[in-house]
Structure 1
Amino acid sequence: MLNTTSTYPKYFILLGIPGLEPSYVSVALFFFLMYAISLIGNLTLLFIIRLDRNLHEPMYIFLSMLSSVDLVLTSTTTPKVLAILWVDAKEISYEACLTQMFFIHAFACIESSILLAMAFDRYVAICHPLRYTSLLTIRGVLFIGLGSLGRGVGTVMPLPILFRRLSLCGNNVIHHSFCDHIAVVKLACSDATLNSIYGLATALLVVAVDLIFIVWSYVLILHAVFRLKSREARLKALSTCASHICAILVFYLTVVLSSVVQRFGKTVPLYVIILLANVYLMLPPFINPLIYGIRTKQIRHRIVTLLHCQVINKD
């Protein structure tokens, strides 16, 4: 497959996880279980929030957005990763690869925006409870959701466009299990400086800006909480933030760790880099529904009620 500035390969070869070939079956089984639980958990959350009108509030609408993003994020990569590990289906078309790359990074950006919006929701609920319904209307929440979608799409759209201008010189073997931007750009035999700078700048700006505002929100929240006179009131206020804090830690720690290791971990084995990249896409969709299902009283109660009804119907 010749490749110049005007031509490109018809397909790429994804190597999977080089170095772990003897463990592919075990790794695939673990990934499959995580994916299955992610699908069941997030679809259950969406079903319950849609079913129960008492949950049609800003916090739960943001949670349904988070579950929807998680479903797209994990479904964009995991089925292809499982196909590589189980049946050695390593080929992916050029267009499908760029599409996968776009969806991965766009929806990671959208998830970061939704987590920021949820921090704002908690800030208003705790620091300005009397203005909560006026500041966070359903229309306003939907506008925030559309803004998050537009931000993710607009920020990441240049990545595949910039990649199309590169020469690959016949290189079509991607040392990864999915079409990650850094791994794909490494195939270029022409100057890819602009691609690398834009990709790094985008990641830093999204993560840095969102984290700054999230941390600032929680500084204000903690300031308001510790001004409460009752210890019980303080604990109750903090408990409403526990699930969100866990979701933030899971998402940002895995994203930052994966990005740092992939860009600067020169001595880190390739299979470790690829596993970390898979973890940052698969762990939040796996953990988030478990966190919110266990920690959120209304959702937990609704799940128990549904399970109880199912048992009664079977009897």
Structure 2
Amino acid sequence: MSSVSQSFSENKSIVYPEYFFIIGLSGIPYSTYYYIFLFIIYIFAVIENSVVLFIIAVDRNLHSPKYIGVFYLALADFGETNALIPNMMKIFVFDSQYISYNACLANMFFVHFFSTMQSLTLVVLAYDRFIAICLPLRYHAIVNNTVMTVVFVGLWGFNGGVVAFVVSSITRLSFCKSNVVPSYYCDHGPMYRLACNDVSINSFMAKLCTALYVVAPLLLIVLSYVGIFLALSKITTWEGRLKALKTCVSHLLLVGSFFLPITCIYITAVMVSLTPNARVISTSLAYAVPPMLNPIIYVLNTSEIKDLIKKYLKKRSTRIERVSN
């Protein structure tokens, strides 16, 4: 670390490091096996989300409000996976824990942007189900392709602005003490705590983003399902209730895979002091695993996508048989 002292360059009164040193994964025992596990997750997540994006894009039967939401969720999953895991793999393959100042800010933006878009997308999908079950006769008047597209364009623009402000707030910090980031990527929290000037804005934005992207979405989703369960209680037959509830199964599994790990990590961190290794492993898995699970959940619980995949595989096998004959 003797080179660390030479990595700072002063700009007026603010000291900017030429690079940051990512050490979050360096202390994990048997890290080789963990990196292999992450690589497997990465391959599956990229392939699965690419398939979902391709199927929804090319098949007009899936150009509906629900699948527009699924498309944007897969896009967010694809983006987060590529923003997070390749940098982690670079540390392992090339033993390169250094990342330049500007590259670090870019990494922070894309990881935070795509991960928070997952949260916002789950809220939109929750209210799509809420309107479909609670207001079935008005569903097509309230929700259509144009409305869903406008909602998602607005959310992506709003979220991009918020995350860009969070990232830009790092540029006002002076890193005169250390450039060693105790995380597995350029995370906003561990980074702003390295600064030696006022970090009140960064601390406020960290709390605001937790409320905006974790607490508020989870609360809104819970409220939507309270309304859904109240509507289901008015259905007289169990068959009718189960049929309506079945349309929510995929979304409930997505919500569980995304919010349960994050919630458990927050609760555990408050009640028990997590070791650095435990924190890194738990948070990295909470970020990396949902993008792999989401496409599987939708494929297994959505007959339209399963039928399209079976149809495609049947056509492909038929072509192979014709060529071989």
Q: Scaled by the length of structure 1, what TM-score is found?
A: 0.94
Could you tell me which amino acid in structure 2 is paired with residue 19 of structure 1?
G
In 1, Cα distance between equivalents of 2:18 and 2:69: 40
After superposition, the C-alpha distances for 1:238-274 in whole angstroms (9 at most, x for unaligned) are 1110010111111112233345556x47732111111
**Pairing 1:22-41 to 2, within 5 Å after superposition:** 22-41=29-48
Residue of structure 2 equivalent to 1:297: 303
Residue of structure 2 equivalent to 1:270: 276
In 1, Cα distance between equivalents of 2:44 and 2:239: 35
Could you tell me which amino acid in structure 2 is paired with residue 305 of structure 1?
K
Residue of structure 2 equivalent to 1:8: 16
**Secondary structure of 1:8's match?**
strand
CA contact (8 A) 1:16 1:84 kept: no
After superposition, the C-alpha distances for 1:150-181 in whole angstroms (9 at most, x for unaligned) are 22112222222221111111511111211111
Residue of structure 2 equivalent to 1:19: 27
**Pairing 1:155-234 to 2, within 5 Å after superposition:** 155-234=162-241
Among 94, 98, 104, which residue is 1:97 paired with? 104
Tell me how far 1:98 sits from its aligned partner. Answer: 0.9
In 2, Cα distance between equivalents of 1:45 and 1:125: 23
Residue of structure 1 equivalent to 2:254: 247
**Secondary structure of 2:16's match?**
coil
**Secondary structure of 2:235's match?**
coil
**Secondary structure of 2:170's match?**
helix
In 1, Cα distance between equivalents of 2:262 and 2:158: 18
**Secondary structure of 1:157's match?**
helix
Could you tell me which amino acid in structure 2 is paired with residue 9 of structure 1?
P
CA contact (8 A) 1:3 1:169 kept: no
Residue of structure 1 equivalent to 2:4: none
Could you tell me which amino acid in structure 2 is paired with residue 71 of structure 1?
F
Could you tell me which amino acid in structure 1 is paired with residue 23 of structure 2?
L
After superposition, the C-alpha distances for 1:4-37 in whole angstroms (9 at most, x for unaligned) are 54331111111141322x5222111100111111
Matched, 1:148 2:144: no
Among 263, 280, 286, which residue is 1:280 paired with? 286
Q: Which runs of 5+ in 2 are unaligned?
A: 1-6
Residue of structure 1 equivalent to 2:121: 114
Residue of structure 1 equivalent to 2:3: none
The aligned length equals 313
In 1, Cα distance between equivalents of 2:33 and 2:213: 35
**Secondary structure of 2:247's match?**
helix
Could you tell me which amino acid in structure 2 is paired with residue 291 of structure 1?
I
Residue of structure 2 equivalent to 1:46: 53
In 2, Cα distance between equivalents of 1:231 and 1:76: 45
Q: Scaled by the length of structure 2, what TM-score is found?
A: 0.91
In 2, Cα distance between equivalents of 1:295 and 1:23: 36
Matched, 1:306 2:312: yes
CA contact (8 A) 1:119 1:214 kept: yes
Percent identity over paired residues: 33
